[in-house]
Structure 1
Amino acid sequence: MTSTLDPVTAPQIPAQRRPAPPAGATGRALPPRRLRSSRPDLLLCGVLLLAILVVQGWNISAYPALSDDEGTYLAQAWAVQEGRGLAHYTYWYDHPPLGWIQLAVLTWIPALLSPESMTVGTMRAVMLLISGISAVLVYVLGRRLALPRWAAGLGMALFGLSPLSVVLQREIFLDNLAVMWTLLAFTLAASPSRHLWHHFGAGMAAATAVLTKETMLLVLPALFVTAWRHSHQDTRKFALTGAVTACALIGFSYPLFALLKGELLPGAGHVSLWDGVKYQMTRPGSGFILDQGSGSWNVLQSWLYYDRILPLGGLAGALLLLATWRWSVTARALAGPALAVAILAALALRPDGYLPAMYVIQALPFLALVLAGGAASIAHAVLRRGRSGKERRATVYGRYTLAVALALAACAYAGPRWYDGTRIAVTTDANAPYEAASRWMAEKVPDPARTRVLVDDAMWLDLVHAGYEPGLGVIWFYKADLDPAVTRTMPKGWRDIDYVVASPTVRRDAKDLPNVKAAIEHSRPVAVFGTGEDRIEIRKIATAGGER
């Protein structure tokens, strides 16, 4: 495999004889052409991949706690598998459906073999496939951005083994799928062979990422910067035009779908894409991320609880790379990832924007690559030898000693923090209350098929498999107030409900949902699982004429 070259000492090739990609004139190192033919690369990538899969897979169903978002995406995937449409309730254009269509494909065989296994905890296992592919793409992208082998491995380890990654990449989030497609787009855009079809493929992968999670639109400028830097000068305009065109044509399929269904614009008696976009753009903000006590501040603290090194170190490194772009070879090589980090950080810093907990997932691969690139720059500066033999002999031991000292100091700082975060992820059972509540509802309720119960989506599929009627028997609690198709079946409001499974999510959001709030107020707990704020209460509704 071609080794990376120092642009200062690399021999200059005459312009008329210089093969693509050039090494000296562009100021960047020559990336490897055939990564798959390099045994050291394959060995290092394989070992790291095995470590990532073991750490992320260990205790995957028990930690972190099941979330309503995970349940929603999986329930929508189940609806696609069952031929019930694009969602388990009315599809209202909250997100493009391609994300959970992919989940439906990924979970189809397990669900076919064992239908009762189509639950959030069990189906988290399919996310290991997504995490593994994304981790490999981080390594390949690092090598194509001219990182040395060890630095690309460091980036892969940061991305896959950070406690923040271990927790968030386990969960069934659309963001994890979108990151995989985004990394594929960057990898194709940075292809050293510079084939035109690679840039067309990058545009197609980028569009797939956006249709998986629409917020990936934010990193498209960084993708096109990468494509510009790695395209051949003679065909650059054609290649980028092809990439943009491919991305746009596939992306426009979503509004075209809404148009053909008559749901592009608002109207009486139907949902619309316009209303879905309007909701996403105008939803209540969670406050400024640096205001203590705001929702965004709490989200930031939850990220830093697991790992401070990757978010803060990566952000500082990205800003430094952008500031030194004109004269730093590393900064130019990593311009795309650094720009992606800067864009995502700028959006998170909006004064009153909405910041979900899974937002950082989109930045994780770029933070890892920027940190790895910074480590490579420091190592190069420390270990670079002088031109004379006398200088080399005088400094080599001191430079290696300094490099080892810096590496040990970094490990001493990061090691205990990563150990604590990872230990929590692989030993804690946060979902025992959910499992116990699900068993109670399956075993203690006399006639599930005729019982109506409000639950969050994390438990929705569990109760479907237990015999409750999908949609109208077991009801995603939001729909009891927000979906006319459900409220029409509840002429008496909360009195038409038998039970409420009051999870933390249900109790938190009930204040804005009159039927759910009234159902909780007019019920009594018959079983409680867990303690404190994380407890799950099974509450039986009491009507005016007595208990049901």
Structure 2
Amino acid sequence: MVLDTTPGTTRLRALRPDLLLCGAVLAAILLVQGWNTAGFPALSDDEGTYLAQAWAVQEGKGLAHYTYWYDHPPLGWLQLALVTWLPAALFPDVMSVAPMRIAMLLVTAVSAVLLYVLARRLGLRRWAAALAMALFGLSPLAVVLQREIFLDNIAVLWILLAFCLAASPRRHLWHHFGAGLAAGVAVLTKETMLVVLPALLVTMWRHTHRDTRKFAVTGAITACVLTGLAYPLFALLNHELFPGDGHVSLLGGIKYQMGRAGSGFILDGGSGAHAVLRSWLYYDRVLPLAGLAAAILLLAAARWSHTARTLAGPATAVVILALVALRPSGYLPAMYVIQLLPFLALTVAGAASIQPLRRLRSGGPGAEPLEETGRGGAGANPTHPRRPALLRRAAALTLAVTAAAVVTPHWYDATRTALTTDANAPYRAAAHWLRERGNVPDPSRTRVLADDAIWLDLVHAGYRPGTGAVWFYKADLDPAIAKTMPRGWRDVDYVVASPTVRRDAPTLPLVKAALTNSETVASFGEGDGRIEIRKVTRAGAR
């Protein structure tokens, strides 16, 4: 038999262990995240908004299902529209939040593979790269948040691609230009990715050739800036860059976002930010705390550890994102931790792969580690030939067993909830009730205030998009919708009083009045998570 020793075959054989290991971890991630994805967590208004905006793009109705007001760059849901285009074309009635979560599995799969590639390019061994990938996709925080239709999940994919290109071992200039382009797309997908860009530059600086470093970094920054400028250019061409009467504006949207009520200091027990932190730690205490500690350790150890130096970029990202979360003012959303997850996973895996015993053998800081050789090799120690290696393996095994014993019970309990709890049964029951002609004889002539989590269900049931099925915020905040309701709350027939509607109604006069002047005709679920369908009792004749 003649063996095929072509470079392609040799490269494939060298990659086979990585492909098998990465594939096995990926299969576990997809199984866990895909199981019961439509049932848990509970649908959120943000998910419904992004999917409704993607639906508007698919249907040719513009950049949003209502007036687009520059709250976020539209590139995120433009990509979402591409991801959900095929299932929406084949099964139009399935275009609603719960079933469309399946599209996020594709985003998670690509992100997890990119994380493995990045870990290997940063010099981590296979087991450490697999550990980073598993932490990223199997942490209960990931199982809950990566299922949801959030722009942050799509942005993480692009920033990981940027880091992979920045750490390319070939060091081609176009790789670094591509890294800048991918970083620009990440920012236009979710603008909070701006704070990660310094960490990307750290990684790029370490992985560029000294002779071409200035060109590579300059090219990457130029590509990123030019990509980002597409957003204000779009606003300028639409005469919506600056505030003015009768139109929305980019600067007006930025002013609103910067002026939002803050969540308070994250360590203040009574603040909203602290409540968000508690929700993160409820699902997973290990990854956030261990990841932050590992990032600090890696930055401190960069002087003597090659592994720590190569992971300086991800460690910097963790520290920057943590400092932003710790600022005493500003708004801290629950999905903020999504962009931390890949870097937390990388730093934990990187810190676990540091071998301090090699440093002791090699003579202190800055020295290269000695090679381990077999019995009788040139570098063998005749007195204790294998003791350092055995000590390292025993210490690593002890540490791994201890970590597994601490982490597994908590992760099991949190993940079991995600795999077995159906938190969205009330939403499905409410949507079914509103579809039944015995309950609502003519949806096309009925106006319902509801949150965006159920908005697309109402549209598929025959309610008019925008004016029949009304996203409840718009009844008070969008002049175009207010014009369709000259009598205010009396022009409303039903209110779907979900937890989101009940929470925000006190700040919305029309919605509050509609709830006050209505009675419950159907209720689904219990406690704070219940959904009530309330019929307005004094709407008057049309």
TM range (shorter): over 0.9
Which amino acid is the alignment partner of residue 406 of structure 2?
Answer: Y
Q: 1:382–1:403: 8 Å Cα contact kept in structure 2?
A: no
In the alignment, the residues of structure 1 paired with residue 299 and residue 260 of structure 2 have an alpha-carbon distance, to the nearest angstrom, of 32
1:106 counterpart (83, 101, 105): 83
In the alignment, the residues of structure 2 paired with residue 545 and residue 429 of structure 1 have an alpha-carbon distance, to the nearest angstrom, of 38
Within 5 Å, which residues of 2 pair with 1:324-473? 324-378=301-355, 388-394=381-387, 396-443=389-436, 444-473=439-468
Aligned position for 1:131: 108
Note the C-alpha offset of 1:116. Answer: 0.2
Corresponding position: 1:522 with 2:499:
no
Aligned position for 1:141: 118
Aligned position for 2:494: 499
Q: 2:521–2:535: 8 Å Cα contact kept in structure 1?
A: yes
Q: 2:297–2:351: 8 Å Cα contact kept in structure 1?
A: no
Note the C-alpha offset of 1:389. Answer: 3.6
CA gap of 1:478–1:545, structure 2 versus 1, over 3 A, is closer
Corresponding position: 1:177 with 2:154:
yes
1:207-229: per-residue Cα shift (whole Å, max 9, x none)? 01001001101100110111111
Which amino acid is the alignment partner of residue 528 of structure 2?
Answer: E
Q: 1:155–1:368: 8 Å Cα contact kept in structure 2?
A: yes
In the alignment, the residues of structure 1 paired with residue 282 and residue 360 of structure 2 have an alpha-carbon distance, to the nearest angstrom, of 34
How many correspondences in the alignment?
515
In the alignment, the residues of structure 2 paired with residue 223 and residue 394 of structure 1 have an alpha-carbon distance, to the nearest angstrom, of 40
RMSD over aligned CA atoms reads 1.8
CA gap of 1:36–1:338, structure 2 versus 1, over 3 A, is farther
Corresponding position: 1:314 with 2:291:
yes
Aligned position for 2:71: 94
In the alignment, the residues of structure 2 paired with residue 225 and residue 36 of structure 1 have an alpha-carbon distance, to the nearest angstrom, of 32
In the alignment, the residues of structure 2 paired with residue 319 and residue 356 of structure 1 have an alpha-carbon distance, to the nearest angstrom, of 24
1:78-127: per-residue Cα shift (whole Å, max 9, x none)? 00000000000000000000000001111111111110000000110010
CA gap of 1:149–1:487, structure 2 versus 1, over 3 A, is same
In the alignment, the residues of structure 1 paired with residue 47 and residue 286 of structure 2 have an alpha-carbon distance, to the nearest angstrom, of 27
SS in 2 for 1:392: coil
Q: 2:114–2:161: 8 Å Cα contact kept in structure 1?
A: yes
Which amino acid is the alignment partner of residue 298 of structure 1?
Answer: A
TM-score (norm 2): 0.92
1:168 counterpart (145, 156, 165): 145
In the alignment, the residues of structure 1 paired with residue 156 and residue 320 of structure 2 have an alpha-carbon distance, to the nearest angstrom, of 15
Aligned position for 2:367: none
Within 5 Å, which residues of 2 pair with 1:18-417? 37-378=14-355, 388-394=381-387, 396-417=389-410
Corresponding position: 1:484 with 2:479:
yes
Which amino acid is the alignment partner of residue 153 of structure 1?
Answer: A
Which amino acid is the alignment partner of residue 34 of structure 2?
Answer: G
SS in 1 for 2:536: strand
TM-score (norm 1): 0.91
Which amino acid is the alignment partner of residue 525 of structure 1?
Answer: T
Larger deviation, residues 465-474 vs 485-494: 485-494
CA gap of 1:34–1:259, structure 2 versus 1, over 3 A, is farther
SS in 1 for 2:496: strand
Which amino acid is the alignment partner of residue 264 of structure 1?
Answer: L
Which amino acid is the alignment partner of residue 453 of structure 1?
Answer: V
1:112-152: per-residue Cα shift (whole Å, max 9, x none)? 11100000001100100000000001100000000111101
Note the C-alpha offset of 1:380. Answer: 6.5
Q: 1:383–1:399: 8 Å Cα contact kept in structure 2?
A: no
Q: 1:36–1:42: 8 Å Cα contact kept in structure 2?
A: no
Note the C-alpha offset of 1:483. Answer: 0.4
Which amino acid is the alignment partner of residue 312 of structure 1?
Answer: L
CA gap of 1:371–1:115, structure 2 versus 1, over 3 A, is same
CA gap of 1:486–1:35, structure 2 versus 1, over 3 A, is farther
In the alignment, the residues of structure 2 paired with residue 149 and residue 35 of structure 1 have an alpha-carbon distance, to the nearest angstrom, of 16
In the alignment, the residues of structure 1 paired with residue 100 and residue 72 of structure 2 have an alpha-carbon distance, to the nearest angstrom, of 21
Note the C-alpha offset of 1:316. Answer: 1.1
In the alignment, the residues of structure 2 paired with residue 431 and residue 102 of structure 1 have an alpha-carbon distance, to the nearest angstrom, of 26
SS in 2 for 1:158: helix
Q: 2:448–2:468: 8 Å Cα contact kept in structure 1?
A: yes
CA gap of 1:542–1:202, structure 2 versus 1, over 3 A, is same
Which amino acid is the alignment partner of residue 41 of structure 1?
Answer: D
SS in 2 for 1:475: strand
1:394-447: per-residue Cα shift (whole Å, max 9, x none)? 455444333222111110000111111111111110000000000001112111
Which amino acid is the alignment partner of residue 398 of structure 2?
Answer: A
Q: Which runs of 5+ in 1 are unaligned?
A: 1-32
Note the C-alpha offset of 1:460. Answer: 0.2
Note the C-alpha offset of 1:378. Answer: 4.5
Corresponding position: 1:511 with 2:511:
no
Which amino acid is the alignment partner of residue 513 of structure 1?
Answer: L
Note the C-alpha offset of 1:319. Answer: 1.6
Aligned position for 1:5: none
1:476-505: per-residue Cα shift (whole Å, max 9, x none)? 000000000001111111111000000000
